[in-house]
Every structure is written in structure tokens, then in C-alpha cells.
Amino acid sequence: MDAYLQQALGLQNGLVFILSAAALLGIVLGFVTYSIYFQRKILGWMQLRVGPNRVGPFGLLQTVADVLKLLLKEDIIPKAVDKPLFILAPVIAFTPAFAVLAVMPFTENLHFADIGVGLLYYIAVSGITVLGVIMGGWASNNKWALIGAMRSAAQMISYEIPLVMSVVGVVLMTGSLNLIDIVEKQREMGMWFFIPQFLGFVVFIIAQLAELSRTPFDLTEAESELISGYHVEYSGFRWAFFMLTEYVYIFAMASLTTVLFLGGWLPPFEFLAFIPGIIWFGLKFAFIVFFIFWLQATFPRMRVDQLMQMGWKVLLPVALLNILITAVLKTVL
């Protein structure tokens, strides 16, 4: 892919880019479809329920049926909404979620764009999603949707800060914002970064849950208070776009966690290096996804004041402390 990126844009490499993007989109949509099934099975198992088991063998086609139902539902646009913004909001929310995958290295050779500031690109592009959330709440012309959008924006922006701060220690230890370089540094050190950067790792995991609006930080969809928050006026495939955004970000965040703190495609021990790197990446990735779903069955939802206090009074100071400790050790050693 790097060879095509270095060439002038033409018919051949343009076709390669389009087909590659389509293939990645197909993989991501497949992940979303079966991660929802996986989530339902995990919750059923933890809550002593069966979970999906009717549509298809072992219930494997249940999510497919749900997607078809959403696509076939009537597309309702309320009369009083700001129609252009209302239509555009789900697209603005989803596009960055898919765009960040362009710099994600799944193995040393399996990636799309190996740019020197891959981590910075991820952070910058993922922040655009909050505009889609605000746009959807504002355009709905509904006070509950607007309150939900403002609360969602406050949560996402607040937790973006400790999330970014938590990876500064990784950047200091690596000396690079390139995601492949970060994995290679872990190979050189002989340990994954979650060990020397344990404080940063803990802050990153908690902050990413808030960024993803996952339990116990799922206040963006607080149906008991805000009748589903910023997307309350959306239905059918437009509502599905917002849900698709959430699960694509789970794919992206689980991949980023694997690269930054769990050694990416590196095996835990050198004698296991004969196993392909994509297998190791997939196992670590699956563990992170399982962990995210596991918390949904374990923790109750936090109050909004508790959520904001944790972000500003706990996670941010701990992230800054981690940067200080890393900088001092980097200077001394």
C-alpha cells in the first residue's frame, strides 16, 4: 500500500484505494454485526439468560435480521427539524470513526497509511465526531435532544483530555507518534507498554470507555432521563448510523489499545513468534472488546456529576502525574 501512496494518483492506484477501503468497510461492518451478537451472548451468559438463539443457527443471524428491520423502517423526519443538518449529522458522526482506521497497523505489513504522526491523526480526526452529536441534537429542535447533545459533548470533550494525556508517556518512551514505531519500541524493550506505563494504561482504559459512551459512562443514551438523548428524533437507518458509529469506535479503540499498550502483533514470548502476528493482534483485540462488554453487565450507570468529577479531578491529575514520572525517568535513565 505504501508503494501506491507514493505514486501520483491514477486509475490503477485509485482503484486499489477504493477496493481496499471497501474491503476494510466490509470487515468493520462484519465486526459490528457480530460484536452485537457477541455482546448479547456475553450479557446473557453473565445474567443467566440464553441470549439470541432463534434466528439462524445458534442465533447467528439475529443481528442481521435487526439490521434489515432498521433499513426497512420508515424514514421519519419531524416537521420542525433543521432538515439539512438533521440529515447530515449521522454522516458527520460516522465518517471520522471509519477514517481513523486508515492509520491503524494490524501487522507490520498490513496497514493502509504509515504516516509519521499516526497517533496525532487518530486523536484529531476522532474528535470530529462530537460535531455530529451536537449537530444531531441541535437540528432535532427538541429540548431533550439538545440537553442530551450538550451533555454528550461535555463528556466527550472532558474525557478527550485525559485520554490524550495518558498516551503522552508512550510517546515520550518511543520518541515517535508513528504507531508502527510504538510497536517496534515494545519489541526492543522486551515488554509491552502497559507495564512501564501502567498509570497511563489505566487512565486510557477508563477514558476510552467514556469516549465510547459505554457502561458505566453511557449517559449519552440515558433513556431513563433524556428518552435516549441526542438521537431521540432519529429512526430507521439514520438512527442505525449513530449506533454504527459507536461500534466502529469500539473496533478502532480496541485496535489502538492493542497497538499502544499490548504490543500490537507481537507475541507474549519469543518462542511463540512462529504464530502469525495477525493472530496475536486478533486475540488481544478480542480480549479488549470482551472487557468492554463485560463491564456492561457489571457496573451501574454513573451520575453526570460523578462522571465529570472523575474526569477532571481524578483522571487528569493521574495522567499528568504519569507524564511527570515518565519524563523524570527518561531524563535520569
Position 124 scores a pLDDT of 92
pLDDT digits (tens, 9 = 90+) for 265-312: 999 988 888 899 999 999 999 999 999 999 988 888 888 888 889 999
pLDDT digits (tens, 9 = 90+) for 162-214: 999 999 999 999 999 999 999 999 999 989 999 999 999 999 999 999 988 88
Q: In the structure grid, which three cell numbers stand for residue 134, read together? A: 451536537
Q: What pLDDT score was predicted for residue 226?
A: 61
CA angle, 215 then 26 then 88, to 5°: 65
C-alpha cell recorded at residue 160: 478527550
Q: Tell me the C-alpha distance between 149 and 183, whole Å.
A: 36
**pTM for this structure?**
0.91
